[in-house]
Amino acid sequence: MNIIKVERNQIGKSAEIVAAAFYHYPMMAHYFPNPQRRKRWLPWYMEKTLSCAMRYGDVFATADFSGIMFVLPPGHTRLSQGEYIRNGFLMTPLVMGLQNYLKSDACEQFVANTHEKLLGGRAHYYLWGLVANPKAQRKGAGSALMKALTDRAEAENMPIYLETHDENNVTYYKRFGFGLIHQDIIPKHGLDIWCMIRESGV
């Protein structure tokens, strides 16, 4: 299965796929509790996320767009508030509503701080997101995309870090050599988080 780098003019298409895949994801449901608003605005939110990933890292897809993966590289695995704003997130409080925005900001800070604490300054790749197109699942897209990333990380002797808010994903990622290193609940929000790492050479 061929893997391509997503081009700037393909971000909108990619964001629609990622939004559809994440529609029921616990964190996105927490940020956009109203289903109608989530359906309307989650593609916008994911387009800004992919813009960040493309500017500071990479966005990959299978050639048929049955899967999308976005990754941040060693040395740039945490984005600043200014970097988010420069990539279109300035309107987020209006899109989400102020209370939901404050919720999302608190959760994102907790996730980023946990990431930083666990890795302790180690160079690594950050697997920010990996999804299968809901209209084309079980075609091996996730495995193909993951192989591209693990091959790259192995060649550079780099670990790969990720977190998930869906326990079902833990078993999935273990198939690719990831181990669970931390489990927590985001305070005041009740969102579970599972943090995993894949060391090189596994």
139 pLDDT more than 80: no
Q: What is the CATH number of the domain that holds 7?
A: 3.40.630.30
Alpha-helical regions (H) of 5-140: 11-21, 26-31, 35-56, 81-86, 92-96, 98-119
105 pLDDT more than 90: yes
pLDDT of residue 153: 97
Cα separation, 79 vs 58, whole angstroms:
14
pLDDT of residue 1: 82
Q: 100 falls in which pLDDT band (50, 70, 90)? A: very high
pLDDT of residue 135: 82
Residue with tokens 């790492």: 197
Mean pLDDT of 1-17: 95
**Total domain count, the chain:** 1
Cα separation, 180 vs 195, whole angstroms:
6
Cα separation, 42 vs 134, whole angstroms:
15
Q: Cα–Cα distances in Å, from 79 out to 52, 76, 103? A: 8, 7, 18
Mean pLDDT of the chain: 95
Q: Report helix, strand or coil for 185.
A: strand
Neighbours of 100 (CB within 10 A): 18
Going by their DSSP bridges, the two strands 160-164 and 125-132 should be labelled as parallel
202 pLDDT more than 90: no
Mean pLDDT of 121-144: 90
Domain that holds residue 160: 3-198
Residues 6+ apart with CB under 8 A from 44: 15, 95
131: enclosing H helix or E strand? strand 125-132
Cα separation, 82 vs 57, whole angstroms:
16
Mean pLDDT of 24-45: 97
Neighbours of 167 (CB within 10 A): 11
Cα separation, 62 vs 68, whole angstroms:
7
187 pLDDT more than 90: yes
The two counts, helices (H) then strands (E), for the chain are: 8, 7
pLDDT of residue 172: 96
- The proportion of the chain whose per-residue pLDDT surpasses 70, expressed as a percent, equals 100
